Amino acid sequence: MTLLVFGLLAYLLGSVSFALIASWIFNLPDPRSYGSKNPGATNVLRTGKKAAAVFTLVGDAGKGWLAVFLAQYYAPLWGLGDESIAVVALSVFLGHVFPVFLRFQGGKGVATAVGVLLGLNLWIGLMAIATWILVAMIWRISSLSALVAAILTPIYTVGALGLGNNSFAVLLMSLILIWRHQSNIVNLLAGKEGRINEKKSSGS
């Protein structure tokens, strides 16, 4: 029962959309009404308001990190094992991707996944970020960076943590993230995917 409560609270935290909060604070249009219609940092950046995009990025990543951090602290106090950390990690990610507050139409999950990774293991998170940055520097395509990072991160996780509940949770997050980028994959294969800083893009 306690594990279920942990998962539910993490899901609700994940459902908080910082893209909408940023849009309200900075008096911007609903991010679901323009660009890729994705409530995430990349789409918010299309407004030209970098501060709003940074706020969204930090908020979405922060909730992923916070959920895992709190689970790591409170799970032992409630007699829960490592499986609770994996449940919370996956739940906060699913909350962002399928938020109850937005009729289950959320973001693609890149920033929240990074926050979760940083919470699980600092080095795994940093390697995922480094992968994203390296691919972005070479090809300047946000979605491609996210996809490459999603493919490689489960490998990083197994290498750092071994096979276990947390590695399985990261694998599931990566598979969902790749699935959420299916339209981007189609555009990439067709050579139509927009590049970073271009107004017309369908990045993550």
pTM for this one? 0.94
Residue 198 is predicted with a pLDDT of 67
Give the list of residues 6+ apart from residue 36 with CB closer than 8 angstroms, or none.
42, 43, 201, 202, 203
Instruction: Say yes or no to pLDDT of 199 above 50.
Output: yes
- What is the residue-wise DSSP string for 149-169? HHHHHHHHHHHHH-SSHHHHH
What are the sequence ranges of the domains in the chain? 2-190
Question: Percent of the chain at pLDDT above 90?
Answer: 90
Answer yes or no: is pLDDT of 52 > 70.
yes
Q: What does the angle CA 87 – CA 93 – CA 94 come to, to the nearest 5 degrees?
A: 85
Exposure on the CB side of residue 195, measured as CA atoms within 13 A? 7
Predicted local confidence at residue 13, as pLDDT: 98
pLDDT for res 117: 98
Which band of pLDDT confidence, cut at 50, 70 and 90, is reported for residue 203? very low
State the Cα angle at 111 between 59 and 93, rounded to 5°. 90
> What number is the average pLDDT over the span 115-124?
98
pLDDT at 204: 43
d(CA 48, CA 41): 11
Q: What is the pLDDT of residue 200?
A: 46
16-30 pLDDT, tens digit each: 999 999 999 999 999
Average pLDDT, the chain: 94
Query: Tokens at residue 63, please?
Result: 């909730």
CB 22 within 8 A of CB 44: yes
pLDDT digits (tens, 9 = 90+) for 64-111: 999 999 999 999 999 999 999 999 999 999 999 999 999 999 999 999
